[in-house]
Chain A
Amino acid sequence: MEDLIVRYISRIIVPFVQIYGLYVVFHGHLSPGGGFSGGAIIGASMILYALSFNLAEGSKRVSHDLALILESSGGLIYAGVGLLGILLGSNFLANRIAGFPMGTPGNLFSSGTIMIVTLGVGIKVASTMITLFYSLIEREHNGDDHH
Chain B
Amino acid sequence: MMRKVLIIALLVMIALMLIATVLEMPTFGEADNPTNNEVPERYLEKSLQETGALNVIASIIIDYRAFDTLGEATVLFVAIAAAVSTLKAH
Contact = CB atoms under 8 A, between A and B. Distances in A.
- Answer yes or no: do A and B interact: yes
Interface of A: 28-32, 34, 71, 74-75, 78-79, 82, 92-93, 95-96, 102-106, 110-114, 117-118, 121, 124-125, 128, 131-132, 135-136, 138-139, 142-143, 146
The interface size bin for chain B is: 20 to 34
A142 B90 contact: yes
A114 B77 contact: no
A111 B52 contact: yes
Pairs of residues from A and B, 4 with the lowest C-beta to C-beta distance, nearest first: A29-B53, A111-B52, A93-B66, A111-B53
Contact of A113 (B57, B62, B87, B88): B62
Contacts of A128: 76-77, 80
5 contacts: A29-B53, A82-B66, A93-B70, A95-B66, A125-B76
Contacts of B61: 34
Contacts of A28: 55, 58
B80 A30 contact: no
